[in-house]
Amino acid sequence: MGDPGDGVDSVLISEDRLLKRVGELGEQISADYAGKRLLLVGILKGSAIFLSDLIRKIDLVVDYDFIAVSSYGGDKHSSGVVRVLKDLDSDVRGRDVIIVEDIVDTGWTLRMSYLVENLLARGASSVKICALLDKPSRRRIDVAVDYPGFAIEGYFVVGYGLDSNGRYRNLPYIGIVTSDGKN
């Protein structure tokens, strides 16, 4: 799976580069939150693989939970309509929270007015964002990514948890899927 005949045009970020950067993010988060008990909140489904690798690289007591938020449906582009499909099971009161996202594109799925402010309103002590992939050139809403993995161009990417209509999540790298080279 993952060769051009299977729909993946090229490898953008190799497995080795991904794992190295995840380790660096884990070290940075460990240093920034030394002595604290973190709650990582993964955005389903795309962040599950990234979160699984990241949590093992954080040298702290760490809890995690998931929330499902959608703005894509079956399309390659964000619809701009955010829907909560699954809420947190954890109480965030008094907790330092890091939202873990696979990709921050237009900013719709991480709207400050919704996820960050909602978690703060629930009593979180702090809320930061960690994103494996960041597409700052496509922002419609200003989203500060506190722990960015890789800044990328406007490609439609798959692998390492990211999908195209449910396919490619299991690829160990980030690949580009396009018909014309860019989206």
Answer with the residue of higher pLDDT: 11 or 140.
11
As a whole-number percent, the residues of the chain with pLDDT over 70 amount to: 80
Mean per-residue pLDDT for 87-116?
82
Sheet architecture: strand order including 62-70: 83-86, 62-70, 38-44, 96-104, 126-134, 147-151
pLDDT value for 23 = 98
Quickly count: other Cβ atoms within 10 Å of residue 97's Cβ: 25
What tokens does 40 get?
């990582």
What is the set of domains in the chain, with CATH numbers?
15-154 (3.40.50.2020)
pTM, rounded to two decimals: 0.86
Query: What is the pLDDT confidence band of residue 62, given thresholds at 50, 70 and 90?
Result: very high
**Residue 113 predicted with pLDDT over 70:** no
Q: What is the pLDDT of residue 24?
A: 98
Strand ranges in the chain using DSSP code E only, listed in sequence order? 10-13, 38-44, 62-70, 83-86, 96-104, 126-134, 147-151, 157-158, 174-176
Say which residue the tokens 């955005």 belong to.
Answer: 43
Provide the pLDDT for residue 183: 39
Rounded CA-CA distance 143/104 in Å is 8
17, pLDDT greater than 90 = yes
- DSSP secondary structure code for residue 114 in this structure: I
Which of the pair, 93 or 140, is modelled with greater confidence? 93
Measured CA distances, 79 to 21, 73, 109, 144 (Å): 30, 8, 10, 21
Catalytic member of 3, 16, 87, 105: 105
Locus of tokens 């190295």: 20
Region 85-111: mean pLDDT is: 85
Any catalytic annotation for residue 163? no
- Among 112, 105, 159, which residue's Cα sits nearest to residue 131? 105
Share of the chain above pLDDT 90, in %: 60
